[in-house]
Structure 1
Amino acid sequence: MFCLPQRCARQLLREPLQRGSLPLFLTPAFSPSRAQCFSTTSPMQSRVGGAAISVPPEVSLNLIDIPKSLTRTRGKDVPKFTAQIKGPKGEMSLTIPSFLDVNYDAANQKATLSVLDAEEPHQRAMWGTTRALLQNHIIGVSEGHICVLSMVGVGYRATIESKATTVTPSYPGQQFVSLKVGFSHPIELGIPEGVHASTPQPTRILLESVNKRLVTQFAAEIREWRRPEPYKGKGIFVNGETIKLKAKKIK
């Protein structure tokens, strides 16, 4: 989108008029009052925060007040309550900012979020972010989040081991993902607490968790060991990821 600065418009209007070379029919076009953006569409803002969230019948949503003595934040905002979500898969909680309000209609199984000042950029940004986090928690405790990693390459495979030789367990009973992706040394990654990993096939890794952030972060850590490359199509692909192949470099 291109805008004609008002100073340039005045200069273009002043100089030709001094020389007497500007035609009369071009005078309104170069008038300072006509300097505007060449766009006919009005700016649109996101409406994600105002959308209602469907809460399944087996999920319970409770709002719990936070005591002032337990509130510790580095920013100016001091949260007042926490949303506690319970479901068949587990339990999660989400701290709600003070400028947001959660309205839960138990009869219709709908939850909506309202913001104190919709014109404030920070509040409007956190409006949609908090709504997305709350929806992810509800889906996690009712259905769970899944990441499927596909390993493409000769000899690429993965196994789930109960012990590791290069990594020490961070909690009792921790399991490890052992990767064989072309390195001479063993690659062992500790499975985070709250994430369940399995290998239905030697070249497939299935990650399940209630927390979407945990499962996607661990999938990204596994992918970093063999990121998909565009010449042979080898690598570790996450959730049906595709890559456009390039032509071979010829010197």
Structure 2
Amino acid sequence: MSRVAKKPITLPKGVELKVADDSIAVKGPKGTLSVHALPGASVSVENGVVSVQVAEGAEDKFGGTVRALLANMVKGVSEGYERKLELVGVGYRASMAGKALNLSLGFSHPIVFNAPEGITLETPSQTEILIKGSDKQLVGEVAAKIRGYRPPEPYKGKGVRYAGEKITLKEAKKA
């Protein structure tokens, strides 16, 4: 069995995990998440501790995957996930208009981004965007989609980047 699958998951207070035949659901203070059950891996809950077992003859990779997905779901419904984006460039701005995010990224028109269900967007300043949610995959997906509107370019570093992302700048052409 994989090393990841052997590690147990402790459920924090207020978090419930329910195992059905075809899916696993986690419910907590920040929402409810579910994932379909993978073949060959079985999940059991005893005294607030979740353990994953791999059936004999099944592939080990599913045990580690199920355990990682469950750990991410437990953390998501108890604490939540957050991703921060920075806008670098003259005139690049972000603002909220209701639930829609307005982005001015140097194009002739503003970009309006509507957040999917389960995601909250905030703009603490004009050059910062905070993406919050309980689903780790969805938070990352939304961050990547917003970054994709104007990824950092390699000569001046202008664009939308993740907080703390290091952009390696190329040297300009010499005359």
Query: Over aligned residues, Cα RMSD in angstroms?
Result: 1.8
Conservation of the 8 A alpha-carbon contact between 2:40 and 2:62: no
What is the match of residue 73 of structure 2? 137
Q: CA deviation at 1:97?
A: 2.0
Q: CA deviation at 1:46?
A: 5.2
Identify which of 94, 97, 104 aligns with 1:180: 104
Residue ranges of structure 1 left out of the alignment (5+ in a row):
1-44, 65-79, 163-174
For 2:2 and 2:87, locate their aligned partners in 1 and report how far apart those are by CA, in whole Å. Answer: 37
Aligned residues: 175
Structure number, greater radius of gyration: 1
Say which structure, 1 or 2, has more relative contact order (CA 8 Å, 6+ apart): 2
Identify which of 63, 68, 81 aligns with 1:127: 63
What is the match of residue 89 of structure 1? 30
Q: CA deviation at 1:154?
A: 0.8
For 1:81 and 1:187, locate their aligned partners in 2 and report how far apart those are by CA, in whole Å. Answer: 40
For 1:133 and 1:239, locate their aligned partners in 2 and report how far apart those are by CA, in whole Å. Answer: 25
Moved over 3 A (4+): none
Identify which of 187, 195, 204 aligns with 2:119: 195
What is the match of residue 35 of structure 1? none
For 1:82 and 1:237, locate their aligned partners in 2 and report how far apart those are by CA, in whole Å. Answer: 36
Percentage of pairs with the same residue: 41
C-alpha change, 1:230 and 1:46, in structure 2 (3 Å) is farther
1:114 aligns with 2:53: yes
For 1:221 and 1:95, locate their aligned partners in 2 and report how far apart those are by CA, in whole Å. Answer: 25
For 1:101 and 1:212, locate their aligned partners in 2 and report how far apart those are by CA, in whole Å. Answer: 22
1:48 aligns with 2:25: no
Q: 2:60 aligns to what SS in structure 1?
A: helix
Q: CA deviation at 1:111?
A: 1.2
For 2:117 and 2:170, locate their aligned partners in 1 and report how far apart those are by CA, in whole Å. Answer: 39
Counting strand residues as a fraction of each chain, which structure ranks higher? 2
Identify which of 60, 65, 82 aligns with 1:146: 82
Q: 2:6 aligns to what SS in structure 1?
A: coil
What is the match of residue 57 of structure 1? 13
For 2:96 and 2:119, locate their aligned partners in 1 and report how far apart those are by CA, in whole Å. Answer: 13
Residue ranges of structure 2 left out of the alignment (5+ in a row):
none
Q: 1:201 aligns to what SS in structure 2?
A: coil
Q: CA deviation at 1:230?
A: 2.1
Q: 1:160 aligns to what SS in structure 2?
A: strand
